[in-house]
Amino acid sequence: MSFSADALRKGGNRNGHGSVARAVVDHRLERRALINEYRRGRLARDQLCDAHPELIRAAKNVGAPSSVTCPICEVVKLVLVTYVFGPRLPAHGRCVTTKADLAQFEGRTDDLDAYVVEACVNCRWHHLLRVLPLGGKPAPPAAALT
């Protein structure tokens, strides 16, 4: 199978619903490279620890605690915050606060993307960990609605 843009446009990578298959995008390699550059002294702390105040607020109030210690300050455990983006959602996305919210998005017919961000509430380090496809469920047949 070819992975060129033309092959994808022609349907070479289709899922069972006729749309192009979507996959998880993992950013761990980029994370590792940034941390290594910081530890080598090539990046200053203020270049890495600049999380937006709204991300830190979400991390403090609705984030999911992780077992990973912050790689920059090495003081506190990181917090995971998930935002969902897609059609009929605000341009800034929707912060997912519960598993029930996530399940609701998963059941939608629109193709959505969940961005999982790790954040440190101590030093303000943050990094996009992964992007997960959500939704995209086929609509129920018209006969099932009556």
Query: What is the pLDDT at residue 108?
Result: 87
SS3 label, residue 79: strand
Query: What is the pLDDT at residue 7?
Result: 44
* DSSP per-residue letters across 45-78: HHHH----HHHHHHHHHTPEEEEEEPTTT-SSEE
SS3 label, residue 112: strand
- Evaluate whether residue 6 is within a structural domain: no
- Evaluate whether residue 36 is within a structural domain: yes
Measuring CA to CA, which residue among 88, 23, 18, 101 is closest to residue 58?
Answer: 101
- Evaluate whether residue 117 is within a structural domain: yes
pLDDT at 10 over 50: no
Query: What is the pLDDT at residue 47?
Result: 93
Range of the domain at 63: 22-137
- What total number of domains does the chain contain? 1
- Evaluate whether residue 145 is within a structural domain: no
Element containing residue 39 per DSSP (H, E): helix 28-39
Over the stretch 61-101, which tens digit does the pLDDT of each residue have? 999 999 999 999 999 999 999 999 999 889 888 999 988 88
- Evaluate whether residue 3 is within a structural domain: no
Cα–Cα distance, 69 to 135 (Å, whole number): 32
- Evaluate whether residue 77 is within a structural domain: yes
Over the stretch 11-61, which tens digit does the pLDDT of each residue have? 444 444 445 568 899 999 999 999 999 999 999 999 999 999 999 999 999
